[in-house]
């Protein structure tokens, strides 16, 4: 379980800056949940497009000297949401905000964190530079695709994990004889951390090769899954091709049931159709990215990370420890 919010005691003398929560248009429902958890209202904003597609942002109240947190995942449409975020940060900076913290439930371009081939851009680093140049003084990110992205910033980064939210739901399922499965070698540490919280459950690894972007060829399973309930653990689900192929392989290797957990439900292209036709019983995700549930697969179970983000925001505002939330 996520730790409880600390008592509102301040170690610094004097009056604390006022806490302000602002939301872009990417996921206003999540931002409203966060504000409700903190017992405050979202700060009013005017965000609208000009006729040529440029974005206009105006703060509707004073933020001078305030501790401002901007909640904006850079999900689809990625470039519009990113540009809106940069403009909003600039507006706060020019309005003399005391501190500007960007809360990114989903970090767009996070998968482009290295050069996998010649003449490629490292876009995850570029985004870090853009946020800093715009005026962000701190970033709160949720389950980054690669932890080294924190090192791309020259400002403070708080890396949060959705695992407490996902684990609470998985425990309530009361599944027996489980095995935690990493969909690739890169996710082993994430899967091992999950397994440790589930009474040191065994883990297995799917060995795969990616032939091109969004296409993966599943090869084999390393570990014993026969007769077990397999729970696949990943940071995101995009087209669901890798996830579904992995689930099919687990069934062929003898797994009796297959579940999956992922923080970020990107769900682009044929993802929902693939999930419906797959042996996966439930795909447990969070609302880091907004979705219209009427158009999503019935197998998808969305959980809210509003409390998690809200407590992290309060701890930062209160100069309390964020890492204690996960201890």
What Rg, from alpha-carbon coordinates, does the chain have?
20
User: How far is 52 from 216, CA to CA, in rounded Å?
Assistant: 39
For 96, phi then psi, to 5°, come to 65, 40
How far separated are the first and last CA of the chain, in Å rounded? 10
Residue 61 CB neighbours (<10 A): 10
Given the residues 20, 46, 196, 208, select the one marked as catalytic.
208
Query: Where is 179: in which H helix or E strand?
Result: strand 178-182
User: How far is 57 from 51, CA to CA, in rounded Å?
Assistant: 14
Residue with tokens 């850079």: 74
Q: Is 32 a catalytic residue?
A: no
User: How far is 150 from 144, CA to CA, in rounded Å?
Assistant: 8
> What residues does 169 pair with on adjacent strands?
none
Residue with tokens 């876009």: 123
User: How far is 125 from 305, CA to CA, in rounded Å?
Assistant: 25
Catalytic site residues? 208
């Amino acid at each position: 379980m996520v730790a409880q919010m600390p008592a509102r005691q301040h170690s610094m003398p004097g009056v604390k800056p006022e806490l302000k929560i602002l939301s872009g248009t990417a996921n206003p429902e999540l931002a409203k949940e966060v504000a409700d958890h903190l017992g405050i209202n979202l700060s009013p904003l005017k965000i609208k497009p000009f006729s040529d597609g440029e974005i206009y942002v105006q703060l509707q109240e004073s933020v001078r000297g305030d501790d401002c947190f901007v909640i904006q995942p850079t999900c689809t449409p990625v470039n519009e949401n990113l540009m809106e975020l940069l403009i909003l940060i600039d507006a706060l900076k020019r309005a003399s905000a005391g501190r500007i913290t960007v809360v990114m439930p989903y970090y767009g371009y996070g998968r482009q964190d290295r050069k996998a081939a010649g003449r490629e851009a490292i876009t995850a680093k570029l985004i870090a530079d853009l946020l800093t140049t715009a005026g962000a003084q701190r970033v709160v990110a949720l389950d980054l695709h690669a932890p080294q992205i924190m090192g791309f910033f020259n400002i403070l980064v708080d890396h949060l994990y959705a695992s407490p939210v996902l684990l609470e739901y998985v425990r309530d399922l009361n599944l027996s004889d489980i095995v935690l499965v990493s969909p690739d070698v890169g996710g082993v540490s994430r899967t091992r951390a999950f397994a440790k919280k589930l009474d040191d459950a065994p883990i297995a690894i799917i060995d795969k090769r990616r032939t091109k972007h969004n296409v993966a060829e599943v090869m084999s399973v390393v570990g014993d899954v026969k007769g077990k309930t397999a729970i696949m653990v990943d940071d995101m689900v995009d087209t669901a091709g890798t996830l579904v192929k992995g689930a099919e392989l687990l069934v062929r290797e003898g797994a009796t049931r297959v579940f999956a957990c992922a923080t970020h439900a990107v769900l682009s292209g044929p993802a929902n159709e693939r999930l419906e036709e797959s042996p996966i019983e439930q795909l447990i995700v969070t609302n880091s990215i907004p979705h219209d549930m009427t158009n999503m697969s019935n197998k998808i179970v969305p959980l809210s990370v509003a409390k998690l983000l809200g407590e992290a925001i309060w701890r930062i505002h209160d100069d309390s420890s964020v890492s204690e939330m996960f201890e």
